[in-house]
Chains A and B, each alone.
Chain A
Amino acid sequence: MKNKKQSQQDFLLEIGCEELPSDYMPNTLDWNYPNSHGLAAAAQTVFSDAKLIWSELQVFGTPRRLVLRVSGVEPVVREEIEGPPVSVAFDAAGKPTDAALGFAKRQGVPMSALKKKETPRGPRLTLERLIPAEKILAASVTPLIQKIAFPKTMRWDNSGVRFARPVRWLTAFYGDKKLAASYGDVRSGAATQSARQGGFVKKLPVKNGSAYDAALKKSSVRLEQGCRLKRNSDGSVQLIPFEHPKRDALYQQLQKTARSISSTLPDASTEEMEWLLNTVTFLAENPFVAAGAFQKEYLELPPEVLATSMAKHLKLFSVRSADGSKLMPRFLAVLEGAPAKPADVMSNYDRIIEARFTDARFFYREDTKTPLESKVPELSKVVFHEKLGSVKERADHLPRLMQRIISDCSLKIDSKEIERAALLCKADLVTQMVREFPTLQGVIGGYYAKQSGESEAVAAAISEQYRPRSAGDALPKTALGALLSLADRFDTLIGYFGAGMKPTGSVDPYALRRNAIGLVRILLQAPAGVSFSGLSIDRLLDDGIELWGSKITLERAAVKKEIRAFLKERLEWMAVSVRGIDRDSAVAVLAAGFDDPANLWKRLQFVSKKTALLERSAKIAQRCGRIVQSVKGLEIPVELNPEWFKEPAEKELAEQWAGLRPQLQENLSACRYEQALSIYAGLQPAVEAFFDKVMVMDENLDVRRNRLALLQQIHRGLAASFADLSRLP
């Protein structure tokens, strides 16, 4: 055993290529393992097929190389080849038959090398072979590279192999031994390449696997970490948590440089920042951070325009003043290596970003020559979806949906402002600025609305209408903004679902899941001073379906049902994954409906606390509810008929229930759950007495139905509007 341990070696593979697209890298390095198709996932599959034994596997990468490191690779792989069954392999005299001799010949071994072995298919003649790991590793390189999946692949020579960009070199070692691996026309060698310095790359000799790190370090190549896997002794594989050292160091460097120019970087958690950080991490092998500046006059443009232009066109980081209040006329660039004179490079960046800003300023000036309202008619030419008509038609739905919400929820919002916000909210789609920067839709509309003399509230609502754009994005802060966002989201869902375009599996081309998550977030967290209490999702869906008219091609009731189920899934996800509610509580609460979102969150919190009071109430609900649910093929009446009560215990229960029911309802509608449950739990002795003394399933069907009706009422007492506690375990 000891001897064997010593001979375990590490495997190192470097796939050297021309610059890979930065957007491909997170998946290629399996950041989202096991839902990834990168190098780690490929290696795991290929090694498992080859029965290779290893202990830990890690991947790393830069735009010009993907690196696989596998530690503790057993030097040999035991392979068993099954031959003929023993019963056929030997004749009566115990001599090998032709079948046995033929098998030995095909395998190129003498008969003496074959052993009898018990297999799942009975005893068989078996050849056991030991294959050196280095042979398996060398042969695994081609299939392993082929298995890495990219959104687009290409050919670059006549070998016919494909990859995201040309593979130009391979380095493969098992311990200190160089392996003869290949991919297409590229053969492994004893060299790697440096990072680009002044554009060009140098060959760097690598004597053996352990010299690889030093060679990279010398040339300042900074590898980013990818997925890390551990192989258990039973062959199963588990993910070891890993960090993003290169990206994190780069972010720190960016922060430090920002401080040196008295500025701050935006929070790294927004979707835009995360994208930009990942992008620059994978745009340089040896990142170097430098600061640039632009003329103050461009600050007259909206800061979002400047920041988006910098990020999108040149992958630059915009910075804000130390207190975060305003954009600074500075930016940070991530360069490939330190140039001889960073200031010269940055002055070029300065001029290029200013040229971009000049373009943006041209758009801004052109767009604001006429008021925002003048652009509205053009929206009838903008197709929202070919089956759903124009953006204008859709925007026309919004006022009624918004009116419905404010009347349901008794919100005090000026009707004129609603009309104005709905009319103008999509007008920026036909501006030059939004054509150039589509992600700024809404935000630009807000600025132009203000320019056109619209009220603050209308401008803010237009600006906020797409919030939250992503998981990390803020919610609308104004009442009108939240209202517009809700109406817009409901309308979108109804249109797509109604025309048969709901998401299926992982296919969600219209981002309806994201839309619905935003919707439930706003419902659960209304802006300060606003409550969506009283909202009826049902009525809102009815209105929306009516507004879409003939564009809804599916049956209306089915559309409603599907959207409700879709929203329920999102709410459950939100409750469990985001708010940390246990799944049982979430299921129980959502089963009692979510039409009034305002009290939903309160109910969730209350139920998830699992107090003794709740446990007692749950017992009642479970005893009553489960028997009712188990009844098949018998209609249970809603109302009780006192004539059919026979036993004193059931009469007692019915009386108690009738006595406390109004109070229970009153407390539930006022969201006084503690009081409500105290009342409900008071039923416990009567319920127990009932089940002790009364046979629910009486032979007389009328008696039986009446008893079930009573239990159903008690069960529904909470399940109809608070939580179906019978679903708790």
Chain B
Amino acid sequence: MTQKKADTFQELILRLERFWADYGCVISQPYDMEMGAGTFHPMTFFKALGPDSWNTAFVQPSRRPTDGRYAENPLRAQRYYQYQVVLKPAPADVQNLYLKSLETLGIDLKKHDVRFVQDDWESPTLGAWGLGWEVWLDGLEVTQFTYFQQVGGIDLSPISAEITYGLERIAMFLQGKLDLYALRWNKDHTYGDIHRRSEIEGSTYNFEYSDPQQQRRYFEEAYAQCKRLLEAGLVLPAYEQLLKTSHAFNLMDARGAVSVNERPTLIAGIRNSAKRCAEAYLERMKEQNEK
């Protein structure tokens, strides 16, 4: 049954945590490094690989430097929050489960237009892709829903369902405001109180002060370091270097410092690292199982 509306940003997160905890998910915590999306979180990237069952849910702050708008665009920001749920194997009633989670947020679906609209998801840097939908609530895209097919270039079995809630979008829907900064974070504070300043400074840094040459060096060093760490059998530290290369790439991109010709090369570099990390992870799992 539909509950009272989750009328603050934090209440929205708490409800989702409760719902998925009750379902049996491991409530993971945000990863403490810059990443473009929840999919980069090791609890998604690595756990989607291999045969073991795994259900998890967590908030992940996500950075998209090129989306910075100096807090002037009500819908776009260079740092925002995703709520990610990974269900492995994907249950047969996963669409239904998702809809129930919306109801616990206080959305009375009978009063709204719910659509699952085709979305072919792909992360060229992670060597990952899947098929699914963007979910529309009265035309507002509030969630990405994907059946992962490959991660790190490796075919998955079992298949995971990845549900990525756009928290700000859902909050906008619940609070009836199409302005991210006007959202109530809690009773006393708005999203703008908490993030407007950092969004302006973040945009300024991304577009004006970040040093593309320096980022290129970071990129190259982290790329090399990732390789060395893999040779030493240190999979997670190697993967963390991959996260750094990915973020350095995004920052270069925001400064327009990635030429059309080198873009595919750099992306392929990150993808190769992702592939090697995924293979090393599976190799290590196999060794553990053999012991």
Q: Which residues of A contact B (CB under 8 A)?
A: 18-23, 63, 152, 154-158, 164-166, 168, 196-201, 283-284, 314, 316, 333, 335-336, 339-341, 344-345, 348-349, 351-355, 358-359, 362, 383
Contacts and interface: CB of A to CB of B under 8 A. Distances in A.
Contacts of A314: 139
A339 B113 contact: yes
B168 to A, nearest CB: 13
A348 B176 CA distance: 8
B114 A155 contact: no
Q: Which 7 A-B pairs have the closest CB atoms?
A: A198-B110, A348-B138, A21-B118, A199-B109, A199-B114, A19-B116, A198-B109
B21 interface: no
Given A154-B159, A155-B147, A196-B114, 9 more contacts: A152-B120, A164-B131, A166-B92, A168-B92, A200-B99, A333-B113, A345-B113, A349-B138, A351-B178
A339 B147 contact: no
B73 to A, nearest CB: 7
Interface of B: 73-75, 89-90, 92, 95-96, 99, 102, 108-118, 120, 130-133, 137-140, 147, 149, 157-159, 173, 178, 260
20 contacts: A154-B159, A155-B147, A155-B157, A155-B159, A157-B158, A165-B132, A166-B92, A168-B92, A197-B110, A336-B114, A340-B110, A341-B111, A344-B111, A345-B111, A345-B112, A345-B113, A349-B139, A352-B140, A359-B75, A362-B73
B159 A156 contact: yes
Contacts of A354: 178
Given A154-B130, A156-B147, A349-B138, A18 B116 contact: yes
Contacts of A19: 115-118, 133
Nearest to A334: B113
Contacts of B113: 333, 335-336, 339, 345
B118 A339 contact: no
A187 to B, nearest CB: 12
A365 to B, nearest CB: 12
A354 B120 CA distance: 26
A353 B139 contact: yes
Contacts of B89: 157-158
Contacts of B92: 157, 166, 168
A199 B118 contact: no
A566 B89 CA distance: 53
B147 A352 contact: no
Contacts of A199: 99, 102, 109, 112, 114
Contact of A22 (B112, B118, B137, B157): B118
Given A200-B96, A345-B112, A355-B178, A23 B139 contact: no
A166 to B, nearest CB: 7
Contact of A333 (B116, B139, B158): B139
B75 A165 contact: no
A154 B149 contact: yes
Given A21-B118, A156-B147, A348-B138, A339 B260 contact: no
Contacts of A155: 147, 149, 157, 159
B132 to A, nearest CB: 8
Contacts, number: 104
Contacts of A63: 116
Nearest to A346: B138
Contact of A198 (B114, B138, B140, B158): B114
Contacts of A349: 138-139
B140 A359 contact: no
Contacts of A22: 117-118
B118 to A, nearest CB: 4
A556 to B, nearest CB: 30
B1 to A, nearest CB: 12
Nearest to A162: B149
A295 to B, nearest CB: 13
A200 to B, nearest CB: 6
Contacts of A284: 115
Contacts of B102: 199
A157 B96 contact: no
B74 A358 contact: yes
Contacts of B116: 18-19, 63
Q: Which of A156, A335, A349, A354 has the most CB of B within 10 A?
A: A156
Contacts of B118: 19-23
B111 A339 contact: yes
Contacts of A164: 131
A165 B117 CA distance: 12
Contacts of A383: 260
Contacts of A348: 112, 137-140, 173
Contact of B131 (A154, A200, A345, A351): A154
Contacts of A352: 138-140, 178
A158 B157 contact: yes
Contacts of A198: 108-112, 114
Contact of A339 (B73, B112, B132): B112
B115 A339 contact: no
B186 to A, nearest CB: 24
B83 to A, nearest CB: 19
Contacts of B74: 355, 358
B138 A157 contact: no
Nearest to A358: B74
A493 B109 CA distance: 53
A421 to B, nearest CB: 27
Given A156-B159, A196-B114, A345 B138 contact: yes
A11 B130 CA distance: 34
B203 to A, nearest CB: 15
Contacts of B149: 154-155
A59 to B, nearest CB: 20
B133 A157 contact: no
A155 B108 CA distance: 32
Given A157-B89, A200-B109, A152 B117 contact: no
B164 to A, nearest CB: 17
B75 A355 contact: yes
A283 B115 contact: yes
A475 to B, nearest CB: 34
B147 A154 contact: yes
A153 to B, nearest CB: 8
A152 B131 contact: yes
B287 to A, nearest CB: 24
Nearest to B100: A200
A340 B102 CA distance: 17
Nearest to A19: B116
Nearest to B90: A156
B117 A283 contact: yes
Nearest to A316: B139
Contacts of B133: 19
